[in-house]
A and B are shown apart, each in its own frame.
Chain A
Amino acid sequence: MNAISVISMVINLSLVFGGFLYFLLLAIKKEKANSEK
């Protein structure tokens, strides 16, 4: 793979998959906080 494709892959995966994981973890955190109330 050439360098630009690798950089593009890292950025795109970070944005999409990273975004998905970030929002998912945020929801888990919120649910945990709610259940502890």
Chain B
Amino acid sequence: MPHKQEFSNRWGIILASLGMAIGAGNLWRFPRLAGQYGGTFIVLWILFLLIWSIPLLLAEFSIGKKFKSGVIGSYGKLAGEKLTWLGFFITVCTLGIAFYYSVVTAWSIEYLGIAISNLFQSLVSDFSLKETLEHNPGYLNQQWDQLSNKSITTVSLYVLIIIIGLIVVGKGIKNGLEKANKVLIPSLFILLAIVAVSALSMENGFKGLDYMFSVNMDHFKNPTVWIEALSQSAWSTGAGWGLMITISSYSRAKEDVTLNTFIGAFGNNTASLFAGMAILPAVFALASTESEAVSFLQSGSQALTFTIIPKLFSQIPGGGFMSVVFFLALTLAAFSSFLPMLQLLKSNLEQAGVSGKTMMISLFIVFTIFGFPSAYSLDFFSNQDWVWGIGLVISGLFIAFATAKYGAVRFKHEFIDGDSDFKVPDAYFKYSIIVNLFIGVILVYWWMSQGYSEHPWFTPSGAWNVLDTYSNATIVTQWGSVLLLGLIINKFLYRKFCKD
């Protein structure tokens, strides 16, 4: 049964696609990579926006608009009965991300609370995070360890996030997702602009911009820069997640595909550039030396957002306020990306005939059970990030494959061009889809070979290394289980989700 709800206008769907795309990756991963590899990275990141992200987003937008179904139903209707299980994989992959991504939202809120508390204490008492760090340099790491492992507060906040998310999506598309994004997205851009202006006004602030935009021709010869630019574009824009299929399945019948997709994609990249212009000047202004600034940027995972940013902002007058603004922006970004993930499962369940209270209870139970391990254990969180983060590229490949199988040019003429205010050239769409099939395979190989060197397929005793957080064995086992299950229940999936 096609969805009956619709966004009220073009802006509703644009804000939803911006909310979906702009997340924690824009606010931390992008500035980190832009600082490390400079303008070279940015040039390649723009290139991959055009080659990988926009063609996939165009395909996803038009698939959702055409079939007005959840991801499984839409994919099955496009690719045919025998391939419905590929849509099942895309759905499970994005849900795998949703279950741990909601934990990022919970952490963001926790740190927003901490930033507010620090600011308040510094105003009413002698508390100073800077002095605390001078006495105990490991203070922020200890705080992070407490919150990310076996923390009842984190688990409680995680459950609260799910409840708030369910209240929003439970109100429907117009009164839920659309209204929430009207507040979340403009607020996010304003907050980023505040941090950027504040950071640029610091002494040495412009040195960060210098690093961010300087072009080093040698970096073009470094494959890592190419792969990082591609993966950043792929994950940041949400191309291949199936989330755009979900959002556009609620579009109006005559909705423009091309222009709306371009606004969403370029808007997402604008948010990334703003974030870079906010974070990098702050890093360079506050680090004691340039090498210290660079080492900050090269240090590891997204989780370090929570230890480095408070440290940076603790060094300056007014930093307590900026810390609050940054974590508020991070919370809004994370929450606006979490909502379409909830909507993705909701729309699939709707298609399976679940509705009303049963729907809400089912969503709550599923998210609570499957997200709990990531909220409770950082190792489990990291494993899921590793497995489903790379899985997204497979999802993107499946979407490119279905488009190529249908005939890229035929697909474009029938699905994309009809109501679009402007049209991209046929050759651009066709060759991008074909090139993406190769790019996707190379990207997966690169990621898995990265893990292979340190995390072998088998343990020293010869056992399948499935329990290692970062092994290829854990990836293949989890992907394989989902693909096998999808294959086994393929006929059921087609009957349940694809027949109106």
On whether the beta carbons of A16 and B270 are closer than 8 Å, the reply is: yes
Q: From B273, which residue of chain A is reached at the shortest CB distance?
A: A16
Inter-chain contact A19/B213, CB cutoff 8 Å: no
* In the complex with contacts A1-B209, A1-B210, A8-B213, A16-B39 CB distance below 8 A: no
Contact string, A1-37, partner B, CB cutoff 8 A, digits 1/0? Answer: 1101110110011011101100110110011000000
B206 in contact (CB, < 8 A): yes
Whether B39 lies near A12 (C-beta < 8 A) is yes
B259 and A16 form a contact (CB under 8 A): no
What residues of B have a CB within 8 angstroms of the CB of A27 in the complex? 10, 14, 256, 259-260, 263, 421
Chain A min CB distance to B25 (Å): 16
* Alpha-carbon distance between A9 and B208 when the two chains are bound, in angstroms: 12
> Bound complex: CA of A27 vs CA of B212, how far in Å?
31
With A2-B210, A5-B209 in contact, is A13–B273 under 8 Å at CB? yes
Q: Is B364 an interface residue (CB 8 A)?
A: no
Using known A-B contacts A19-B266, A20-B263, A27-B259, determine if residue A2 contacts B214 with beta carbons closer than 8 Å: yes
Of residues 17 through 53 on chain B, the ones whose CB sits less than 8 Å from some CB of chain A are 39, 42-43, 46
- Give min CB distance, B16 to chain A, whole Å: 15
Q: Which residues of B contact A13 (CB under 8 A)?
A: 273
- The reply to whether B263 and A16 contact each other, CB–CB distance below 8 Å, is no
CA distance A12 to B262 in the complex (A): 16
User: What is the predominant secondary structure among interface residues of chain B facing chain A?
Assistant: helix
Within 8 Å of chain A (Cβ to Cβ): is B215? yes
What is the bound-complex CA distance between A24 and B422, given in angstroms? 13
Contacts of A4 in B (CB 8 A): 214-215
Of B207, B210, B213, B259, the residue contacting A30 (CB under 8 A) is B259
Residues of the A chain whose Cβ atoms lie less than 8 Å from the Cβ of B266: 16, 19-20, 23
| A5 with B214, Cβ < 8 A, contacts A20-B263, A23-B259, A30-B259 known | yes
Of A8, A20, A26, the contact of B270 (CB 8 Å cutoff): A20
What total of A-B pairs shows CB separation below 8 Å? Answer: 69
Q: Are A16 and B214 in contact, CB atoms less than 8 angstroms apart? A: no
Q: Does B172 contact A (CB under 8 A)?
A: no
Question: Is B267 positioned at the interface, with any CB of A under 8 Å from its CB?
Answer: yes
Instruction: Identify A12's interface contact among B9, B42, B260, CB under 8 A.
Output: B42
What CA separation (Å) do A1 and B215 show in the bound complex?
13
Within 8 A of A (CB), among B397-456: 421-422
Q: Is B269 an interface residue (CB 8 A)?
A: yes
Residues of A contacting B209 with CB < 8 Å? 1, 5, 9
A7 to chain B, nearest CB (A): 9
CB closest residue in chain A, given B207: A1
List chain A residues, Cβ under 8 A from B256: 27, 30
A12 to B213, CA, bound (A): 8
State the CA gap A6–B209 with chains docked (Å): 9
Please give the distance in Å from A12's CB to the nearest CB on chain B. Answer: 5
Contacts of A1 in B (CB 8 A): 206-207, 209-210, 213
Contact A15 B260 (CB under 8 A): no
With A12-B43, A15-B46, A26-B421 given, is the CB distance from A20 to B259 under 8 Å? no
Supply 30 A–B pairs (Cβ within 8 Å), ascending by A.
Answer: A1-B206, A1-B213, A4-B215, A5-B39, A5-B209, A5-B212, A5-B213, A6-B213, A8-B213, A8-B215, A9-B212, A12-B42, A12-B213, A13-B273, A15-B46, A16-B269, A16-B273, A17-B270, A17-B273, A19-B266, A20-B263, A20-B267, A23-B262, A26-B422, A27-B256, A27-B263, A30-B256, A30-B421, A31-B9, A31-B10
A-B CB proximity, top 6 nearest: A20-B266, A9-B213, A8-B39, A8-B213, A19-B266, A5-B213
